[in-house]
Amino acid sequence: MSARPRSTGRRPSRGRGVSVWLIALLVALVATIQLRSEAEVQRSLVGTDATALAFLIDDLHQANDSLDKEKADLTSLRTRLQSGQSGAADQVLNSEADRLRAIEGLIPVHGPGVVIEIDASGLTALDLQDTLNNLAAGGAEAIDVNGHRLVMGVPVYQTSGGVAIDGVTVSPPWTITVIGDPNRLGLIADLMAQQLRADRRVRQATYRIETDVVIRSVISEKPFVYAVPS
């Protein structure tokens, strides 16, 4: 009999305690979720600003357009091969071989583009690599520097005698002949020429847009020694 009053006296107190804990837990949960979601957004804002994102969107649109063109070309190629017409495969393979030889710099090529002249002393292999990369990013499809054909993979490096392309020292002035979309390349060349003129090592940097330039230099084919096609 004596336990009962104690028991009835403790129940409201325990219940109130549990309720308060539950409420506190709920408040903490809501606040944490809210704050964490805000923190996530804040964290992602630190990574890239809105302007950079806008540029990224533009780049991705361009990239996706290029991929769409590639898909259309490949689909048309597949249709030609599926047609089973006599000689269709040979035509496709011949044209693919010519295209790849041009891409790999194995044959002389021509087309619209720009010619850039840089007269300087002290420019390094890194300067030339950056220049070539800028032009490639601007849509260059074929590049020649002082009669040496260049594609990604052709060694450009620094030697005691200056900048070497595939083992041959290439002394300034450099004449860089580029084939590609003349409008895009013209913009790139203009920006590059402005930057180069601000460089104390550069005596002169000019460019001209041409409707047709010829690149006669070629890269000699090098068979794989280590790589095995899968």
Minimum separation from the CB atom of position 193 to another protein (A): 19
Which is nearer to another protein, 109 or 202 (by Cβ)? 109
Minimum separation from the CB atom of position 165 to another protein (A): 10
Which is nearer to another protein, 119 or 134 (by Cβ)? 134
CA dist list (Å): 96 to 6, 93, 150, 196, 215? 94, 5, 20, 38, 20
Both ends of the chain: CA-CA distance in Å?
A: 88
Q: Which amino acid is at 85?
A: Q
CA dist list (Å): 146 to 130, 170, 202, 215? 17, 7, 17, 10
Minimum separation from the CB atom of position 199 to another protein (A): 17
Which is nearer to another protein, 22 or 204 (by Cβ)? 22
Which is nearer to another protein, 66 or 204 (by Cβ)? 66
* Dihedral sign of CA atoms 16, 17, 22, 25 in order: positive
Which is nearer to another protein, 94 or 169 (by Cβ)? 94
Minimum separation from the CB atom of position 106 to another protein (A): 8
Q: Round to whole Å and give the CA distance between 207 and 176.
A: 9
Minimum separation from the CB atom of position 190 to another protein (A): 17
**Burial (0-12, 13-18, 19+ Cβ within 10 Å), 127:** buried
